Structure 1
Amino acid sequence: YNSGLTGIAEIKKAPLQRLVALPLIGPRLAKAIKEQVGGLVEEQEWKSLDKAEKEQKALTDFVEEKFEPEKPED
């Protein structure tokens, strides 16, 4: 609701990228939501999102060094 999608009709019309931009919604869930409300998922749109999902990197790929907490001094 806070994202501006306040009803089924708006979800039905929304592009997959808009649904994927919502927290905790990935491409597969966005596609399932669109299909459940009767929205059309165009093949090209799905392919582009599927490709982006496969190229997604894990957070650990961005870690440059391990964090080691400071040891308390005695």
Structure 2
Amino acid sequence: MVEANILIYALSGLIVVLAGLLTTRAIKRRKSKPENIWATKSAPAPNYTQRIPITTPIPPPPIAPPPAHLFSNR
């Protein structure tokens, strides 16, 4: 009787061969015409000069520096 390992390898090989045939036939049936990338119109470039309006106002800078005890690392 045939060993189980040989049977598994044979069936796996058959699946790989059939998948390869199916893939090559599917690729051959595609109707792909070559596209000239140099002749296509390019998308308009985004305008980076426009600024997005800020919804929240920017706080003014502090007049005096914060107290020194806020900077202690203890």
Q: Give the structure-1-normalised TM-score.
A: 0.30
Larger radius of gyration: 2
More RCO (CA 8 Å, sep 6+): 1
Q: Give the structure-2-normalised TM-score.
A: 0.30
